[in-house]
Each structure stands twice: as structure tokens, then as C-alpha cells.
Amino acid sequence: MPDGDVADPPRTAGGPACSTRSLGAGEPVAGTASYGRRWLLVEVAGAWGHNAFRNSPILDRSLGTRIEHRAAAEGFRLIAIRRPGRARLDGGRRRWRWARVDCTPGHESVRWGEADGPEEYVDGVFSESGTLASEPVIAVCAHGRHDECCATRGRAVAARLAAREGAAVWECSHIGGDRFAATLLLFPHGINYGRADTLDCGQMVDEYRAGRVMLAGLRGRSAYRFLEQTAQDAARRTFGDLRIESYEPLSAVRTAPGRWRVTLAGPPERILVDLAETMTAPLFSNCAATVPLAVPSFAVEQVRELG
């Protein structure tokens, strides 16, 4: 990112929104998807404060904290979901639906259930088997109180996709990468996209339903770490296989200080991707940031087949 991109004041002092700044600077999105192999999606059909569980008018703060702690103890990444738009009540009543998502490669699944009230989010969602879903879940970050870009960009994408995908679409709370808004997650594989409002979000979903990824806007797959996501992106761009299951990471080895080699499955041969740990130029990672900071990144040095 050019040094001049931090010359403008932060958003809090009237500068550009974080997503506008990142987009204008051409910051790469590949290798930035937040890690998570198991996700718990719980319906909180109301307003969300900065924290969707501890700052929501429809959840007691102590209950929200207990839900967070239990999900973390069970090894789940927790996000709140709600229907797009203002009409979030179903037939005039509030519902408390939930989904347990497994993004582990080869074991991907979504199981839905419904609680009688939010108190069951502490225990019931972990003990009930749930109903195995055949349809994907399309979760678009629209957490405006966490970052304004998620409201201005995310809500528009959620509405657009809901018009074509119906009940598969949910607004969701913070999933990381505010500056890449609009961001969305496609479950059960955990395929994460950014800048969905400036790209064809419908094609992102169409490709996912066909078992492929779209390179434009692709941040990565949540089941893998940043360096593995970056290596996969490099392999796809080099060799062209866009199937979701292609280029499975087999190993990641530090070859020298600040240097990594990721081995990916073919076809046809295994692929070696050499990467260097680096730092971006200082940037404002979200609209609330007041000091530009560099963030970790990986640069691709070499991609080759293991002959």
C-alpha cells in the first residue's frame, strides 16, 4: 500500500472510510479470511451494539457473555445472525434459530435447530443434534455498530442476495476484515469474500453452488491459516483449478526466518509455494482506528510443481 494512503486523517477525524481507503489503495484481499473450522450461528433478531451479544437490547448482557464463553469453550467461532432488512420478526414473533457449522475439509456440514429462547444458546445448541441442511448458508456482515462500512456496504449486498437467494441469506455480526467490506461467508465450506458490493456477489454464490470459487474478491477459506490461504490463491492463479477442494494444504514448514514453504495437493503433481512473511505499510484497519498500523501479510516468492 503506498505510503500516501495514510496521509488522510482517520475516519474519526473526517477521513475516508476504511473500506474506501483500502479499495482505492488496491490492497490485496487474498489470504485474509478469519480462521475458524467450527462456527456457531445464533439468531439475534434485533439491533446489535458494538458487540452483538453484550450490547444488544434483546439480550441480557450477562446472558450474552455466557453464550460467548460457552461457544469459546466448545471450540466454536460465534456470530449473530438475523434476517436482512428491518422486518426481522417472523409472523410478528421473535425466533431463536441456530446453526452449527463444521468447515473441516471433507466433513463440511450445517445443522439447524431452534430454541425457545436465548437461554438455550448456552447449553441446548451443543446437546441437540439439529437437522442436517442441504442448502448453503450465505452470511453477509452487516454489523454497522462495529464498523460503518459493514452497514453501508454489507446491508446492500444482503438485500440484493436475499432477493435472489431467499431464506439462505442472513445478515451476520463481525467476521473480520472490516476494510474489505462488504464481506460474506459461504457455509459450510467457510469461503470468505470481500468487496462483494463492488464485484458480482451473485456470481460468488453461483460459483459456490457449482463447487468452485471466484478469484475476484476471494479472501480465502476459513479452515486454513493466512499463509495456506495465500498459497492456495497463488496455485489457483498459476494453474487455474477453481474447484473448492483443489490445492489442499498438506504441510507448511518454516524454511528460514521469515520464510515458509507450503505444500499443496495437485492435480497432477504436488505444488510448492514459497512465501515470505512481511508487513503491510501502515493502514487504518477499521473506521474506528485512529493510528495507522502495519499488519502481517505473506508475499508469494515462487510457485512450482514438485516434479
Give the tens place of pLDDT for each residue, 206-262.
999 999 999 999 999 999 999 999 999 999 999 999 999 999 999 999 999 999 999
Instruction: Calculate the CA 36 to chain-centre distance.
Output: 9
Binning pLDDT at 50, 70 and 90, where does residue 269 land? confident
Categorize the per-residue pLDDT at 4 as very low, low, confident or very high, splitting at 50, 70 and 90.
very low
The model's pTM is 0.94
Residue 1 is predicted with a pLDDT of 37
**pLDDT surpassing 80 at residue 6:** no
Q: Give, as one character, the DSSP assignment of residue 213.
A: -
pLDDT at site 3: 41
Average pLDDT over residues 268-296: 93
pLDDT at residue 136 greater than cutoff 90: yes
pLDDT tens track for 56-101: 999 999 999 999 999 999 999 999 999 998 778 887 889 999 999 9
DSSP 93-115: B--EEEEEEE--TT--EEEEEEE
For the residues 165-173, what does the mean pLDDT come to? 97
